Amino acid sequence: MLVTHVLGDCPGCGAKDQFGNVWVKGNQVLRGCMQCKYNTTVWLPEIKKKIIYLDQFFFSKAFRETDPKFVEAMSRIRQISEKQLLVAPFSSIHEDETHQWRGFDGKNKDDLLEFIKTASRGHEFEPAYNVEQTQIVKAFQAFLTGRPEKYDLSQNDILHRNIHEWDDYYRIDVGRYSGNIEIIRDSKLQCVEGLVDLFPGWRKSIDTFDQHVKIEMITAAKGYVESYILYKSRIANGDHAAFLDSPVMSQFMQSLLYCFPEETPDETRLKQILDFFRSRHFDEIPHLWLQARIFATLKDMVKRGAYTDREGAIARLSGFIHDLRHISIYAPYCDAFIMDKAMASLISDPRINIANRYNVKVFSLNNWDIFLGWMNELDSTISQEHRVGLAAAYP
């Protein structure tokens, strides 16, 4: 066996310094000998880790090491994660943002991505588009079967494996295609500029907050339908590239169509999907619920006089779209979320109040001391049984 941590002589064959921990899996440690077949299992106590989401700005600050607060916080997060009390998975949005990073002080985007993945200890959220699709399909299935409108949050929505297990000694890193970086940067800038160019119209709007929310939900539903129609139209016209380059959202409607028995007529399927888009089940989908209200809150801020300078607004909102996706997709599943002060202030609006709705603690520089206190309190909960498990698994 390949022994990772040598503990001493083998109880089976007596070979000197050949016996030790091989791997950690689930809630057990396999111990074996490098010379003979002798092995044994040590059982570990069950654990329940807290999930924390570290926004991109946090990773960038900690990685650059220009602000002691972030360096110390990152060190503390790692210490508590090593004790199997906390986990900070990385997401596809982290990767998207990191691949657009231009570097700092001799360090490049690959260094930053490795820093993020090391902090995650190999734990990864499901890609953002998978979470979006999962939420839509689950809500639709609840709609079809008459189950309650409130969305049933489950960590299975965002994690492909159980995080409430003891970490192994190694992590497997699988890269993914990140696209043309310059095109992505240009697209990001165009999105922000397009957003800011809407502000003059927003200032003239007489719609209420609730009306803005409704408009956002209608726009979301319309986007799914139109994207799917364009996708099917391209295929019908022989454009087979549609299978490769169509937006992911064009497949969401297809997923809903698969929720019906095979014999269900197409007209019936489409009618029920459209009814779903007008239902409370659709309104309660977490990422849509949050996105609609975050946009509505931003609109309200603009109407009240915020972001009057176009160039200044573009600079200040440069990360807004990514921040919106970080928060709306992953925050409802987390115990804590660290974000920048601007976004923390925005989502603390009583009309959003993400902390109460999804029971997630929101931390930023606005309440940094409370964040540090939360980590200290978490560290203090460790039991003697847990300490024994740590000594057995990670000698």
- How large a percentage of the chain has pLDDT more than 70? 94
Residues 6+ apart with CB under 8 A from 229: none
pLDDT digits (tens, 9 = 90+) for 89-102: 998 888 878 777 76
Q: Read off the pLDDT band of 114 (50, 70, 90).
A: confident
Indicate whether 65 pLDDT > 50.
yes
Half-sphere exposure of 381 (CA within 13 A, CB side): 14
User: Residue 52's pLDDT is what?
Assistant: 96
- Can you tell me whether residue 29 is helix, strand or coil? strand
Segment 281-285 mean pLDDT:
97
User: Residue 186's pLDDT is what?
Assistant: 61
User: How many angstroms separate the Cα of 258 from the Cα of each of 27, 145, 382?
Assistant: 38, 15, 46
Indicate whether 188 pLDDT > 70.
no
Picking from 58, 130, 61, the residue whose alpha carbon sits closest to that of residue 88 is: 58
CA 21 distance to own-chain centroid: 33
Q: Where are the domains of the chain?
A: 5-43, 48-382
- Is 252 in contact with 228 (CB distance < 8 Å)? yes
Indicate whether 373 pLDDT > 70.
yes
Does this model's pTM top 0.85?
A: yes
Indicate whether 178 pLDDT > 70.
no
- Is 10 in contact with 20 (CB distance < 8 Å)? no
Segment 36-58 mean pLDDT:
95
Other C-beta atoms closer than 10 Å to the C-beta of 316 total 15
User: Residue 161's pLDDT is what?
Assistant: 84
pLDDT digits (tens, 9 = 90+) for 292-333: 999 999 999 999 999 999 999 888 888 888 889 899 999 999
E-strand stretches of the chain: 5-8, 19-25, 28-33, 39-43, 50-54, 86-87, 336-338, 361-363
Taking the C-alpha atoms of residue 52 and residue 200, their distance in angstroms, rounded to an integer, is 37
pLDDT digits (tens, 9 = 90+) for 47-56: 999 999 999 8
Tell me which of 316 and 109 has the higher pLDDT: 316
- Can you tell me whether residue 59 is helix, strand or coil? helix
Q: Read off the pLDDT band of 177 (50, 70, 90).
A: very low
Taking the C-alpha atoms of residue 363 and residue 51, their distance in angstroms, rounded to an integer, is 13
HEC profile of 131-192: HHHHHHHHHHHHHHHCCCCCCCCCHHHCECCCCCCCCCCCCCCCCCCCCCHHHHHHHHHHHH
User: Residue 122's pLDDT is what?
Assistant: 85
Segment 139-153 mean pLDDT:
96
Indicate whether 334 pLDDT > 60.
yes
Rounded to 5 degrees, what are φ and ψ at 195?
A: -65, -50
> Comparing 19-23, 235-239, 294-298, which segment has the lowest mean pLDDT?
235-239
Taking the C-alpha atoms of residue 34 and residue 207, their distance in angstroms, rounded to an integer, is 72
- Can you tell me whether residue 96 is helix, strand or coil? helix
Mean pLDDT of the chain, nearest integer: 90
